[in-house]
Structure 1
Amino acid sequence: MSNKLTSVLIVLALIVGLLSSMVFVVGERNYALVFALGEVKRVIRDPGLHFKLPPPFQNVVLLDRRLLTINTQEAERIQTSEKKNLLIDSFVKWRIEDPRLYYVTFAGNEKAAMARLQAQIRDALNASVNIRTVKDVVALERDVIMKEVLDNVQRRAKPLGVHVVDVRLMRIEFAPEIAESVYRRMESERLRVANELRSIGAAEGEKIRASADRERQQIMAQAYARAQAIMGDGDARAAELYGQAYGQDGDFFSFYRSLEAYRESFGKKSDVMVVDPSAQFFRYMKSTKERGSQD
C-alpha cells in the first residue's frame, strides 16, 4: 500500500512539474520571446499569464521594455570646422521597439546594444560638429545639432530593433590644449566690442553736448535780443515821457535834473569837486538875483 502511495505522489509531482514548466508570467516591464529549437516562435508584448510547451521543446527569454539611458563614460573629443577640439558629454534615452529584431541583432545582450548606439551617436556628432564653428556648436546651433543627431541615430537604430527617444548634449568644453587661446581670443574680442561701444558713446555724448551748447547759445541770443528790444522800447518810452514832462514845464524839469545831479555828485561827505563857482552846474545854488544876472 505504501509503495502504491509513493508511486502516486511521484506521478503527481511529475505532473505538477510538467505543468509549471508550461506556464510563465510576463510582467509589465518586459517582452517575452518564446523559442522552439533555437528559433523565435512568438513575441509576447501583453503582460499576464501565458503557456508554452515544456523544455526542451520551448523556452522563454525576457527582454526589458522600459526606457533605458546611455550616459557617456568619457567626453567625446570632436573637431569643429576650424580644426578645434571640443569635449562633448551626451546622454541618450532609448527602448527596444522590435524584440525579435533586437534579439537577432544583439542576442539579447544589452551591453552590446548600448555599445552600438554609442558608436552611432559618436558618428552622428562628428557629422554635425565637423561642419560647424566653435561658436555655432557652443551657442548658436546647439538645438539644431541635437535634432540632427537624434534624426541620424533614429534612422540608423531602427534596423536594429531599437527606438532612440531623445539625445541631449549635457556639457561642451574646449580641449585643454586650446582652451587658454580661445579664452584669450574671446577676451580680446569682448574688449574690442567694449572699446567700440565706448567710442560710439563718447561720440554721441560730444554730439549731444554740442547740440545742447548750440541750443543754449541760440536761446541766450534770442533772450538778449528780446531784452535789448524791451530796453529800447523802455528807453524810447522814458525819453517820450521826459520830453512830454520837459515840454510842460522846462524850468521845473531843469531844476529837477540839477537836483538829481547834485545828489549823485555829493552822495558822500568826503566827495570833493574842483569846479569854477560860476559854472552852469551850480546855477540853482545861487541866489535868484545872481542866477537872473547870469541868464
Structure 2
Amino acid sequence: MLMEVYPGGKNNEPANAPQLPEGTVKKLIIGAVIALVLMIGWTTFYTVEEQEEAAILTFGKYSGTQDSAGLHFKLPYPIQQVVIYPAKLTQRLHIGYREQNGTIVPVEEEALMITGDENLVSADAVVEWRVADLHKFLYNIDDPELFLRNMASASIRSVMGATNLDFAITEGKTVIQTEVKQRLDEMQLQYNTGIQIVNLMFQDIEPPEGTVQQAFREVTNAREEKNTKINQAQKYVNDLLPRTRGEAQAVLEKAEAEKHSRIVNAQGDVAKFNAVYNEYVKNPDITSSRLILETLEKILPGAKVIITDGGSETVNYLPLNELMRSNASKSSAGGTTTPAPTPVPAPTPVPQEPATEGGDAR
C-alpha cells in the first residue's frame, strides 16, 4: 500500500521552526548561574542552636561534630551535608504509661511484671536521657527511642524479678531505682549507643487494681504509721537524753566541787592545828592559856574579862571591854581624825570573898 505525503504550510510551502526572541538564551544562562549560586550559598551555611549539635557528613561519611552554637560554614551540597539534632536537650521517656494531651494513658503490657516471689506488680517509670556522643547515636542504633524503651523495660523487669513484692512497694523503691539505672548505664556502654542516662524515677510501684491492691495499701499505711511512731519516739529520746545527761553532769561537777572544797578546808584545818601545836610545843603554858581565853571569847562573847594573878586577897580588875568600846566609839565619831589616847585607869581592887570549904571562890 502506497502512502502519499503532501507538503504542509501555506501555499504548499515547507514549515519552518519557531524563532526565539533575541537574547533569550543569554537570559536563561544567567538565570541558571544565579540559581546555582543561590543553591550553593544556601547549602554552604548552617545554624546550630544552643541545645543542638551538628554531625558533618563528607560524601555521606561522618567527618566531625559541631557543638558550638551560631552560624557555621561547610562545603556545598552534595560534597558535605549536616545532620542537626538536639543532643544537649534532656528528654523524657515514659515506661508503663503515656501522656496524651495532658491525659495519662496506662500501658499495661509495659507496666505489669512479676516479682521475685511470683506476684504481679505494676511499675511506672520515667527515664531522663540525653545524647553524649552524636556519632554513636546516629550510626550505632537505628531507632534510639525504641531501643532505649526496650532496654529500660528489660532492666526494670530484671531487677523486679529478683525483688519481693513486699520490699518493692514499701521501702525498696530507691534501691530499685539505683539498680535499674546501673543496669541501663552498663547496657549503654556495652552497645555504644552514645546515650547518657541522666536519671530514672519510679512514679508508682503497686499491686494491680483490685482487692489485693487495697490490702497492700493498708499494710503500707500501717508501716508508715509505725515508722512515724518510731521517729516520734526517737525524737523524744534525742530531746530527753541530752538534757538528762547534762543534769547528771551538773550533779557530778557539783559533787566534785564539794569534794574539793572539803579537802581544801580539811587541809587548812590540819595546817592550822600543826601551827598551833608547834607553838604549844615551844611554850605549853602560854599557848594553853591563850587557847582557853580564845575559847571563852567565842562561847561567852558578852562576858566581862577580869585578869588576875590570884596571889592576893584582892583581884586586880582591868576593864578591857569598856576600854575597847570607848576607843571604837571615839574612832567612829572622829572620822579620819586620830583619837587621843585614853588613859588607862589603875586596876581597881575588888574585895575577895573568904574562901569556903572546898576551894577558892572566883
TM-score higher than 0.5 here?
A: yes
Q: Is the 8 A contact 2:152 2:184 kept in 1?
A: yes
Tell me, yes or no, if structure 1 residue 175 matches structure 2 residue 197. no
Shift of 1:186: 4.2
Q: Is the 8 A contact 2:91 2:128 kept in 1?
A: yes
Tell me, yes or no, if structure 1 residue 115 matches structure 2 residue 146. yes
Tell me, yes or no, if structure 1 residue 81 matches structure 2 residue 119. no
Matched letter for residue 179 of structure 2: E
CA separation in 2, counterparts of 1:180 and 1:129?
A: 17
Who is 2:244 aligned against?
none
**Which consecutive residues of structure 1, in runs of 5 or more, have no partner in the other structure?**
194-295
Higher helix share: 1
Matched letter for residue 167 of structure 1: L
Q: For 2:90, which of 67, 71, 74 is the aligned residue?
A: 67
Shift of 1:31: 1.2
Who is 1:145 aligned against?
176
Matched letter for residue 69 of structure 1: R
| TM-score normalised by length of structure 2 | 0.46
**Which consecutive residues of structure 2, in runs of 5 or more, have no partner in the other structure?**
1-21, 98-106, 227-362
Tell me, yes or no, if structure 1 residue 155 matches structure 2 residue 177. no
* Identical amino acids, percent of aligned pairs: 19
Q: Deviations over 1:136-174 (max 9, x none)?
A: 111122101101111111221242000010001101221
Higher Rg of the two aligned structures = 2
Q: How does 1:46-61 map to 2 (within 5 A)?
A: 46-61=68-83
CA separation in 2, counterparts of 1:44 and 1:12?
A: 30
Q: How does 1:177-256 map to 2 (within 5 A)?
A: 179=212, 182-183=215-216, 186=219
Shift of 1:127: 2.3
Q: Is the 8 A contact 1:84 1:178 kept in 2?
A: no
Who is 2:33 aligned against?
11
Q: Is the 8 A contact 1:70 1:91 kept in 2?
A: yes
Who is 1:236 aligned against?
none
RMSD (Å), alpha carbons: 2.8
Who is 2:141 aligned against?
106
Q: Deviations over 1:85-143 (max 9, x none)?
A: 10100011000110000000235xxxx21221122112221222222222211112210
CA separation in 1, counterparts of 2:117 and 2:162?
A: 9
Shift of 1:36: 2.0
Who is 1:226 aligned against?
none
Q: Is the 8 A contact 1:85 1:178 kept in 2?
A: no
Q: Is the 8 A contact 1:34 1:58 kept in 2?
A: yes
CA separation in 2, counterparts of 1:124 and 1:11?
A: 58
Matched letter for residue 201 of structure 2: R
CA separation in 2, counterparts of 1:184 and 1:99?
A: 45
Q: Is the 8 A contact 2:40 2:77 kept in 1?
A: no
Structure of higher RCO (CA pairs closer than 8 Å, 6+ residues apart) = 1
CA separation in 2, counterparts of 1:79 and 1:49?
A: 52
Q: Count residues in correspondence.
A: 186
Q: Deviations over 1:206-233 (max 9, x none)?
A: xxxxxxxxxxxxxxxxxxxxxxxxxxxx
Matched letter for residue 171 of structure 1: D
